[in-house]
Structure 1
């Protein structure tokens, strides 16, 4: 298999963490990819017409894209149980919440990287951050108990989302007022799979 990947992307990191946790990392060739909607650059457009990563090329069928699709496939391939049937809807919802945090945080970055300064909208950036704040507050208030159980895909997604906030929006201090979530993240970040995939760029 081949994985089109960028080490800074939290969506790609999700997939790499899963590959490590399930013992499949050696079954995948990592291919670099980078670009934006304005300049697709190295994005695998033939494999994913949306021009996004990650993309997983597999021998038995069309390439898979969207990190949640790829993660479901790799989990099923390994029989790893990261989407436990007894908590499936909770895991999927929390994974979607983490992915929404990633989406909003990335859009904040794109606003400054892809738009000329005169066209940037500070209110729009703050609107994206408000999505992040609401999601983090909801997790702190309602989801901490879901994070205490055996490893699942929601935990991986959330760990990657919080890592991206530290990387790109650290000055906003997402930990403030969220002691339970901050304590969980501190422990989860010490997992070998998270340490090995920590973004530095």
Structure 2
């Protein structure tokens, strides 16, 4: 199998962490590409018509995407139990929340990176971060018992979202007022799978 990826992508990082946690990294070749919303890599478009990473090219079927689909597929392949049936809806909700945090962060990054300076809207960027901040508050206030439980895909996704916020918008200081979440992340990020996938 081949994983179309970019080393800085938090969505790719979710997959890479899962691969390490489930001892499948040797089964997947990473194909690192350079792509932007304006110039999509041709190989990526062939695998995913939406032009988004990651995409997983399988040996026995068509390519699959997005990160949530890929993670479910790889977890099922390894029978790893990162989507436990007893907590499935909580895991899926937290994974969706993590992806929303990433999307809010990514929107602010794209605004700065791809819009001409005179066209950037600070109010729009603030609104995108506000979505992420509300999600972070919800995790800190309502979901810590889950995060402190057995490792599943929810923890991996949340940790990758927090790592991306540190990487791209450190000035937003997501830890402020979220002591429980910050303490949890300080421990979770020590996992070898997280250390091996720090974005660069």
Normalization by structure 2: what TM-score? 0.98
Which residue is equivalent to 1:177? Answer: 177
What is the rounded CA distance, in whole Å, between the counterparts of 1:160 and 1:4 in structure 2? 18
- Residues 19-38 of structure 1, C-alpha deviation per residue, up to 9 Å, x if partnerless? 00000000011001221221
How far residue 149 of structure 1 moved from its aligned partner, in angstroms, is: 1.0
Which residue is equivalent to 2:71? Answer: 71
SS at match of 1:44: helix
- Whether 2:96 is the aligned partner of 1:96: answer yes
SS at match of 1:4: strand
- 8 Å Cα contact 1:48-1:63 kept in structure 2: yes
Which residue is equivalent to 1:192? Answer: 192
What is the rounded CA distance, in whole Å, between the counterparts of 2:99 and 2:79 in structure 1? 23
**Against the structure 1 CA distance between its residues 90 and 32, is the aligned structure 2 distance closer, same or farther, given a 3 Å change threshold?**
same
What is the rounded CA distance, in whole Å, between the counterparts of 2:104 and 2:176 in structure 1? 19
Moved over 3 A (4+): none
What is the rounded CA distance, in whole Å, between the counterparts of 2:126 and 2:115 in structure 1? 16
Pairs within 5 Å for 1:15-164? 15-41=15-41, 44-164=44-164
SS at match of 1:157: helix
Normalization by structure 1: what TM-score? 0.97
What is the rounded CA distance, in whole Å, between the counterparts of 1:119 and 1:40 in structure 2? 23
What is the rounded CA distance, in whole Å, between the counterparts of 1:175 and 1:146 in structure 2? 19
5+ residue gaps, structure 1, are none
**Against the structure 1 CA distance between its residues 32 and 42, is the aligned structure 2 distance closer, same or farther, given a 3 Å change threshold?**
farther
- 8 Å Cα contact 1:33-1:53 kept in structure 2: no
- 8 Å Cα contact 1:2-1:58 kept in structure 2: yes
* Count, aligned residues: 200
5+ residue gaps, structure 2, are none
- 8 Å Cα contact 1:33-1:42 kept in structure 2: no
What is the rounded CA distance, in whole Å, between the counterparts of 1:43 and 1:51 in structure 2? 9
- Residues 109-141 of structure 1, C-alpha deviation per residue, up to 9 Å, x if partnerless? 000111111111111000001011100100111
Which residue is equivalent to 1:166? Answer: 166
- Residues 166-188 of structure 1, C-alpha deviation per residue, up to 9 Å, x if partnerless? 00111111101111000000000
What is the rounded CA distance, in whole Å, between the counterparts of 1:152 and 1:116 in structure 2? 41
**Against the structure 1 CA distance between its residues 57 and 124, is the aligned structure 2 distance closer, same or farther, given a 3 Å change threshold?**
same
Q: Give RMSD over aligned pairs.
A: 0.9
Q: Which shifted more, 29-38 or 148-157?
A: 29-38
